[in-house]
Amino acid sequence: MRQRVGASRTWLWCAFLAANVWIGWLAYTGPGHPIGDVYLYAWWVELGLEGGPWVGIDTSWVYPVLALLPMTVAAVGGSHYALVWLALMVLLNCLALAFVTGWRGRARGLAAGWWWTAYLVAVGPIALGRIDSVTVPLVVIAAVLFARRPVVAGALLAAATWMKVWPAAIIGAALIALRERFHILLGVLATSAIVMITAVVLGGGAPLFSFITTQTGRGLQIEAPASAPWLLLGALGDEASGLYYDEEILTYQVFGPHVEVVAAIMTPLLALVAAAIVGLALWLLGRGVRPEALLPPFVLALVTAMIAVNKVGSPQFITWLSAAVIIGLVAKPNGAAAFRMPAVLVLVIALLTQIVYPVLYGYLLALEPAMLTVLTLRNLLLFVLLGWAVRAMLRTPRARRR
């Protein structure tokens, strides 16, 4: 039996490495320039190293300041920056898988490991080609450490949040649902204090929170679910609606009647939806549900809402779902069985995302009906996933009374 388990873990590692190498190769050589942002990271770092302004420290930036850390580390590759970046992302994924399955002894989390392997193939090179690629494995490691090393888990989540904001949803869910909330909060506060003090000492006090203010004036990105009406009108020939490239924030957005109004209400709407999910979780905990059973669907609901009810619909956002599903698959006692439906849904969402970006992105920019159908289906499935997560929260079993 022990040999069979060891063989299963060995086969999983072989498949996982093969999946990472495959999408890394696609990222570096595939169509659609899927690691275009990585070259932008290289330019930002090169600018700072050559005496120019450091983004996030000397100037405002779209990312939290700690995102500079992995971007700068990759600069050791010099002219091979992109290859070093991809190698670092593969190493981070492998480190996270080691935490999921265990370093030695009896293997655990094999179902989560196999699912993650399939997910990487489904979502494609976007899984390695963005700053989000750093935050996903950090969140996965933190989730494994919640019970055993809650302070370390909180520190990892804080570090991830200071690279990209979305892990704040995991922090919020953990602080509400887990008994280890005090220790998790201690790790979050200590790490955040270190990051902020370091940034201020380096002269980056003024732009420390510029990643928030730089997002407020954005329009509707074309991949966001809310952009569907104007894309459809543009495809039907309405010259007053369509898409354009924003030179300031370097992305495609929609234009048309009332776009500005919808864009303005999306952020408050997202806050309202998130508050409703948090309120539901607090109500359920007040009714005596098991906190450890509530956490996985609670996390999934928050993360899905951050994607579905968002005016920015970047394809890399879909990678956040992988961490949420892995948290559900490794949950005790029957996480893999309980999370079967969202696991399948996220695989489909990931595959549809890869079809849109980077494989056939040009057809989306041309407003081809077939590609708009694929994008619309992907976005509709996000709301199906959100509905499943909320329903799973409502069906969380109550704790047994002693």
pLDDT of residue 322: 97
How many other C-beta atoms lie within 10 A of the C-beta of residue 369?
11
pLDDT of residue 9: 85
pLDDT of residue 349: 98
CA distance 353 to 343: 15
Q: Which two tokens stand for residue 148?
A: 């055993």
pLDDT of residue 33: 81
pLDDT of residue 34: 87
pLDDT of residue 1: 43
pLDDT of residue 7: 60
Supply the angle between the helices 340-354 and 110-123 in degrees, to the nearest 10: 20
pLDDT of residue 171: 97
Kindly report, residue by residue over 183-208, the tens digit of the pLDDT. 999 999 999 999 999 999 999 888 99
Q: Is the pLDDT of residue 271 over 70?
A: yes
CB 351 within 8 A of CB 123: yes
How many other C-beta atoms lie within 10 A of the C-beta of residue 271?
11
Kindly report, residue by residue over 198-247, the tens digit of the pLDDT. 999 999 888 999 888 777 778 999 999 999 999 999 999 999 999 999 88
What is the percent of the chain where pLDDT is above 70?
97
Kindly report, residue by residue over 129-160, the tens digit of the pLDDT. 999 999 999 999 999 999 899 999 999 999 99
Q: Is the pLDDT of residue 303 over 50?
A: yes
Q: Which domain holds residue 299?
A: 215-402
Which amino acid appears at position 217 of this protein?
G
Q: For residue 389, what are the CA distances in angstroms to 83, 179, 182, 347?
A: 37, 22, 26, 16
CA distance 88 to 74: 8
Report the chain's mean pLDDT, rounded to a whole number.
Answer: 92
| Residue 246, strand partner residues | 251
Contacts of residue 281, Cβ cutoff 8 Å, sequence gap at least 6: 173, 176, 177, 294, 298, 393
Q: Which two tokens stand for residue 380?
A: 């509709």
State the pLDDT confidence band at 362, using cuts at 50, 70 and 90. Answer: very high
CA distance 258 to 108: 51
Kindly report, residue by residue over 44-102, the tens digit of the pLDDT. 999 999 988 999 999 999 999 999 999 999 999 889 999 999 999 999 999 999 999 98
Mean pLDDT of 168-187: 96
Q: Is the pLDDT of residue 106 over 80?
A: no
Does a structural domain hold residue 317? yes
Mean pLDDT of 265-269: 94
CA distance 63 to 161: 10
Q: Report the run of H or E that residue 242 belongs to, with start and end.
A: strand 242-246
Does a structural domain hold residue 40? no
State the pLDDT confidence band at 6, using cuts at 50, 70 and 90. Answer: very low
State the pLDDT confidence band at 2, using cuts at 50, 70 and 90. Answer: very low
Q: Is the pLDDT of residue 333 over 70?
A: no
Mean pLDDT of 285-302: 94
pLDDT of residue 105: 66
C-alpha 345: how far from chain center: 16
Does a structural domain hold residue 90? no
Q: Is the pLDDT of residue 3 over 70?
A: no
Cα torsion 77, 152, 305, 62: sign? negative
CA-based nearest residue to 393, from 275, 282, 271 = 282
Does a structural domain hold residue 106? no
C-alpha 371: how far from chain center: 23
Q: Which two tokens stand for residue 371?
A: 């590609």
Question: How many structural domains are present in the chain?
Answer: 1
Q: Is the pLDDT of residue 401 over 90?
A: no
Q: Which two tokens stand for residue 246?
A: 């924003």
Q: Which two tokens stand for residue 248?
A: 């300031």
Contacts of residue 221, Cβ cutoff 8 Å, sequence gap at least 6: 227, 251, 252, 253, 254, 311, 312, 313, 314
Q: Is 114 exposed, middle or buried (0-12, 13-18, 19+ CB in 10 A)?
A: middle
What is the percent of the chain where pLDDT is above 90?
81
